Amino acid sequence: MRDDILELIEQSRYADARNELIKLNAVDIAQVLEEVHQQNVLIMFRILPKEIAATAFSYMSYDQQRYIIESITDKEIEIIIDELFLDDTIDFLEEMPANVVKKVLKNTDDKTRKLINQFLNYPEDSAGSIMTIEYVDLKREMTVRQAIDHIKKTGIDKETINTCYVMDQSRKLEGVISIRKLILSDDDVLIGDIMDKDVIYINTSDDQEKIAMLFKKYDFISMPVVDKERRLVGIITVDDVVDIIDQENTEDFQRMAAMQPSEEEYLKTSVLELAKNRIPWLLILMISATFTGNIIRKYEEALQSVVILASFIPMLMDTGGNAGAQSSTLVIRGIALGEIKLNDLGKILWKEFRVSVIVGLILAIVNFLRIYFLEKVAFNISIVVSISIFATVILAKIVGGSLPIIAKKLKLDPAIMASPLITTIVDAVALMIYFAAATSILGL
């Protein structure tokens, strides 16, 4: 299907291509145009019906959007912006260079320009910057029939009609009603009598993390956004929430791997940008490792007399780091999903302690069997290594389980208390335990 269309376009059979293209979902139209020669993109974009062109535009890559805006006339820009939902306009303007933004703003009417400027001013990732204004507004005095007539008249330009919002004269939010309830109710019933008054709403300043939590908790497909006076100013729809969830997770993955979070796709991020995001934490962690170096230097003599001790350092450090990272990952994730609260610290410590005793014992026993019987390491050294593993696992899991909660209490992002930082801390702890055990048991 899509290959056929590409062929039609290449043969310059644009009208035929158009007729096939409009049968597709706008997402797929955008994807087809992504694969077409630039000169043909413009031709095809122009002969598509304007509402389809606008929807497809909102699904295009930023590069393609930019190319189109830079190539089309002022009049065409006006039509596209007019057809776009405001949240899609904001999304794309946020990624465009200043000259493109200027060209767009120049070609929108006063009201829209004011709105765009207002939305661009909301803090990034706040409800204000995510919401859109194309919602259905009803009054409580309307009958169901009047409400449905109102929707018929205005619904075409709304992002969703599945939930309608009931406001008073001063635009204060009074209730919500689903299209389902409207359709299933009798024509003469008043909206005020059947609307849901227990409205769960978002404030313009709410962070996207909180928004995602609310959507997940209530299984909504859209939610109203209100200002400080509880006046309705916009709505957020679930498709944006899905993007938010992905973005929040990506940020956590990046922070947990000691990087500055970035919203850009890996393959589209420049080498310099990637390096810039990675260097700070690597430097901090590298310099922190001075500490472990100093511990080893302190026990230089012990090492010199029993050099084999050095050969277990990597295993001990890695095991401690991994054990701690397991605990911290579960706690970080639990906090992110709202399953773990700040006052659960006691429960977590007790749980991690019990888990770590089991895990530590098994690792210590397996290690002892392996190095004493298979590698023929001396008995007392095998004992030193195994005791160190046991104690390291316990400490690693307690450190790993508690630091994310402590970070959250200090209003830091728990995700920074992940593998890299935990590993650096646990390394030092593991070495201290190891050398303490070695000097006392081996009498060094």
**Binding positions for a copy of itself, 227-256, rule CB under 8 A:** 238-239, 241-243, 245-246, 249-250, 252-254, 256
Our finding on whether 19 is near a copy of itself (CB under 8 A) is no
Residue 399 C-beta: closest distance to a copy of itself, Å? 14
Crossing angle of helices 98-106 and 86-93, rounded to 10°:
150
> Does residue 15 touch a copy of itself according to CB under 8 A?
no
Which among 2-10, 42-50, 62-70, 264-272 is the span making contact with a copy of itself, rule CB under 8 A? 264-272
Q: Which of 110, 229, 266, 443 binds a copy of itself (CB under 8 A)?
A: 266
Between 77 and 387, name the residue whose CB sits nearer to a copy of itself.
Answer: 387
Alpha-carbon separation of residue 321 from 108, 315, 415, 421 (angstroms): 56, 10, 16, 9
Q: Among the candidate windows 42-50, 77-85, 117-125, 268-276, which touches a copy of itself by CB under 8 A?
A: 268-276
Smallest gap from residue 441 Cβ to a copy of itself (A): 19
Task: Tell me the per-residue interface mask from 343 to 382 with a copy of itself, x by CB under 8 A, - otherwise.
Answer: -x--xx--x--xx--xx--xx--xx--x----x-------
Kindly state the number of chain residues that form the binding site for a copy of itself, as judged by CB under 8 A.
114
Residue from 54, 331, 381, 417 touching a copy of itself (CB under 8 A): that is 331
Minimum distance of a copy of itself from residue 100's CB (angstroms): 24
Residues 6+ apart with CB under 8 A from 301: 444
Output 224 or 420, the one with its CB closest to a copy of itself: 420
Q: Is 323 in the site for a copy of itself (CB under 8 A)?
A: yes
290 binds a copy of itself (CB under 8 A): yes
Pick the binder of a copy of itself from 169, 272, 343, 411 (CB under 8 A): 272
Q: Write each residue from 33 to 72 as x if it is in contact with a copy of itself (CB under 8 A), else as -, in one continuous string.
A: ----------------------------------------
- Residue 401 CB, shortest distance to a copy of itself, in Å, is 9
Q: Which of residues 109-168 bind a copy of itself (CB under 8 A)?
A: 148, 151-152, 155-156, 160-162
Give 100 or 176: the residue with its C-beta nearer to a copy of itself. 176
Work out whether 287 is an interface residue with a copy of itself (CB under 8 A).
yes
Which listed residue (64, 65, 107, 319) binds a copy of itself by CB under 8 A? Answer: 319
The Cα 419–Cα 192 span in angstroms is: 54
List the one residue from 42, 285, 436, 444 that touches a copy of itself (CB under 8 A).
285
CB-nearer residue toward a copy of itself: 24 or 101: 24
**Helices 38-47 and 2-10 sit at what angle, rounded to 10 degrees?**
100
Question: What is the closest distance, in whole angstroms, from the C-beta atom of residue 311 to a copy of itself in the complex?
Answer: 4
> Rounded to whole angstroms, how far apart are CA atoms 39 and 226?
44
Is 441 a binding residue for a copy of itself by CB under 8 A? The answer is: no
The answer to whether 434 contacts a copy of itself (rule: CB under 8 A) is no
Query: Under the criterion CB under 8 A, does residue 419 sit at the interface with a copy of itself?
Result: yes
Q: Which of 27, 342, 378, 412 binds a copy of itself (CB under 8 A)?
A: 27
Q: Of the candidates 169, 170, 188, 271, which one interacts with a copy of itself according to CB under 8 A? A: 271
SS3 sequence of the chain? CHHHHHHHHHCCCHHHHHHHHCCCCHHHHHHHHHCCCHHHHHHHHHHCCHHHHHHHHHCCCHHHHHHHHHHCCHHHHHHHHHHCCHHHHHHHHCCCCHHHHHHHHHCCCHHHHHHHHHHHHCCCCEHHHHCECCCEEECCCCEHHHHHHHHHHHHHHCCCCCEEEEECCCCEEEEEEEHHHHHHCCCCCEHHHHCECCCCCEECCCEHHHHHHHHHHHCCCEEEEECCCCEEEEEEEHHHHHHHHHHHHHHHHHHHCCCCCCCCCHHHCCHHHHHHHHHHHHHHHHHHCHHHHHHHHHCHHHHHHCHHHHHHHHHHHHHHHHHHHHHHHHHHHHHHCCCCCHHHHHHHHHHHHHHHHHHHHHHHHHHHHHHHHHCCCCHHHHHHHHHHHHHHHHHHHHHHHHHHHHHHHCCCCHHHCCHHHHHHHHHHHHHHHHHHHHHHHHCC
Site string for a copy of itself, 71-110 (x = CB under 8 A): ----------------------------------------
CB of 84 to a copy of itself, least distance (A): 14
Q: Provide the token pair at 240.
A: 């944006």
Two structure tokens written together for 405: 């909660």
CA gap 191, 45 in Å, rounded: 42
Query: Nearer Cβ to a copy of itself, position 57 or 215?
Result: 215
Give residues with Cβ within 8 angstroms of 292, minimum separation 6.
424, 427, 428, 431
C-beta closer to a copy of itself: residue 314 or 443: 314
